[in-house]
Chain A
Amino acid sequence: MANIKFDKERCKGCCLCVAECPRGNIRMSEILNKTGSIYAEVIDEGDCNGCALCCQMCPDMAIEIEEDEKQTCCEKGSEK
């Protein structure tokens, strides 16, 4: 599990992250954010593998992954 954070106010609703998630774990919101845009959100935080492909693709730096202290290399490896 990765500590992933979507900043819904930065999100412009381009949907590019949705297609990149290997786990199909991102969806677009039904409701709008303050800028009037739909926004991306993670479906199941527990299912995110921290691959950061969504972060790479996001043109608006709306997705961040925090370093998880508990996560070890072995755990990372076992995710593959």
Chain B
Amino acid sequence: MEFKKPTSLLDVPTHYCPGCGHGIVQRLVGEVIDELGIREKTIGTAPVGCAVLLYDYFDCDIIECSHGRSPAVATGIKRVLPDRVVFTYQGDGDLAAIGTAETIHVANRGENITIIFVNNAIYGMTGGQMAPTTITGQRTTTTQEGRGQNQEGPPLKVCELLASLDGVTYLERVAVSTPKDIMRAKKAVKKAFQNQIDEKGFSLVEVLSMCPTDWKVSSTAAVDFVNNEMKEVFPLGVFKDEK
């Protein structure tokens, strides 16, 4: 068995905190781009969030978008260049709070793009405020007593929400909290890109991911939080797979 850094990622260290799931998700995307041989025709979008510096790590064309608007930007690119591969990489605040409208409509239009949605149940970049996907009872800097005490509503479940839209082709929720989950996540990411190449339409992979820093726990405890708490609220699996 061989295990190497993907060549579509630049050989540089990342700015992510120790134990942060972004590094894993990013690697999986890089591996898929390598395996599909699409680096030279891929255009990615960087979100506003901890992954904003995506372009420092990916060796492909990248555009940095305003908070939540990556799906709209991706729509613009894909419609102009339909034979290129366009992906967005977004956090939960980006995709499921400020960018909710863009998310729902890009999905419903069935834009032939791939969305990698990193759900870490918190606003990482701004220092740990409540995200739309923060789970009930979870303490954040804006839900000090735990979500649910101040009419925040329950966590938003993006895959379940989008599954009702006819325009959507493929939805799967995966995690990067165990090696087995990671290998499954890779398959999902690959499928989401392959769908686009095959012109099958809109694909989104939601990735449950660790944010030890803003959860204020150790890296190993963060993995446990994904495995024990998040997977309960956000069940893994395929939510839609239109043939």
A-side residues, CB < 8 A to B, are 2, 9-10, 12-16, 19-20, 35, 37, 50-53, 55-61, 63-67, 76
Contact = CB atoms under 8 A, between A and B. Distances in A.
Given A12-B18, A15-B220, A59-B16, A2 B23 contact: no
A13 B179 contact: no
Contact of B3 (A13, A16, A35, A52): A52
Nearest to B12: A10
B23 A60 contact: yes
B5 A64 contact: yes
Range of interface residues on chain B? 20 to 34
B14 interface: yes
A78 B23 CA distance: 33
Interface string B19-53: 11111100100000000000000000000000000
For A15, A50, A63, the residue with the greatest tally of chain B CB atoms inside 10 Å of its CB is: A15
B4 interface: yes
A64 B3 contact: yes
Interface string B208-232: 0000100000111001000000000
Interface of B: 1-5, 9, 13-14, 16-24, 27, 178-179, 182-183, 212, 218-220, 223
A20 B85 CA distance: 34
Nearest to A35: B13
Contact of A56 (B19, B182, B219): B182
A13 B183 CA distance: 22
B18 A61 contact: no
